[in-house]
Homo-oligomer: A and B are copies of this chain.
């Protein structure tokens, strides 16, 4: 497997683009489109929040009912189209139909996604008026993916893209690519048709809808669902995976190299989302091993990246390791406090923070100051936790809690 440039348009026979329609007052791009030149199979995973945005309800129905004749994804940023009732669903249908008509596509072939403020109606007229310019903004390769990746951002500070090339079991070389946005209201628990994390993945592999869905759901569990910026699950989280088969070859339905490529791209996007969490100055990576089972491993890793106090300590470069142990203690994972170990992972040898359930002595007598200096220099803080209860492991990604997070979220809407 090799990393390649191009994001969501790295696979063959995809174009993408983005323009500003005035949904955002800032004038930044707010309409994004990803198109396959030919019919694609599609899978989607969506938020498990009971309060689901209109595009989530529509998109989930589409990938369930007609997953084999999808042509693309049409995303709006700046408005969630959530809590907008039946009118919101009608609005989204109107927008999708207008876009399909403008692009000469059959009806019902564009998958919807939205991100932004919850509550307001989506500005249908402004979006429809911008459709001709969106058509002109479509591009292949690096350029198209860049444009779409920009147009889905809200409080994000940078675009998130990833793509890999992999050789499958039958010798066919396929590509998997994706773009994503995250930043705030990020604690996705995506599930099959029932995830404002957005992720749009494409591949030119030949994969049927059922296999596509299975690969996406499995990969989401290990990647997007292990990201936590603020503990708030959105009404709009949506990840789509399109497979247009343009690379040819045999069916990749059961090809582990294909599944691995999807997970690699999703893990890269997940890390990018965590690193660009609202106000984040540091990426926090928590590896838990020695858990009794996978659920325990995930619960323990999620608790640590989700802990407000751990996040504030990381922002302050404060080796307050008791907060890590407290988070593990309430995670629900089985653990014996006297066996717990926590290390700061370093290329030249891990730095012990907790050994046999007790903070290491070096934290006193100036050791805390040395670790604080180290934490200050790191822009990724990788924690290795061992529960000594079994063999299961999991990784979660989060970020620190800064003054900027409070500023962004105390004044996002008004």
Contacts and interface: CB of A to CB of B under 8 A. Distances in A.
Given A318-B411, A372-B414, A403-B403, A323 B49 contact: no
A77 B363 CA distance: 21
Contacts of A334: 50
Q: On chain A, which size bracket covers the interface? A: 35 or more
A116 B233 CA distance: 31
Given A318-B410, A322-B82, A337 B232 contact: no
B368 A326 contact: no
Contact of A326 (B235, B316, B364): B235
Q: Which of A83, A356, A357, A407 has the most CB of B within 10 A?
A: A83
Interface in A108-131: 117-120
Given A118-B322, A118-B325, A326-B185, A307 B338 contact: no
Nearest to A400: B410
A48 B308 CA distance: 18
A230 interface: yes
A117 B120 CA distance: 45
Copies of this protein in the complex: 2
A268 interface: no
Interface string A306-338: 111100110110111111011111100011011
**A contacts with B: majority SS:** loop
Interface in A87-136: 117-120
A406 interface: yes
Interface string A63-83: 000000000000000001011
Given A50-B335, A85-B357, A327 B232 contact: yes
Interface of A: 48-52, 80, 82-85, 117-120, 184-185, 187, 189, 230-235, 306-309, 312-313, 315-316, 318-323, 325-330, 334-335, 337-338, 340, 354, 356-359, 363-364, 368-369, 372, 401-403, 405-414
Given A118-B322, A308-B308, 10 more contacts: A49-B330, A51-B325, A85-B356, A85-B357, A117-B320, A119-B358, A120-B359, A231-B306, A315-B406, A318-B413
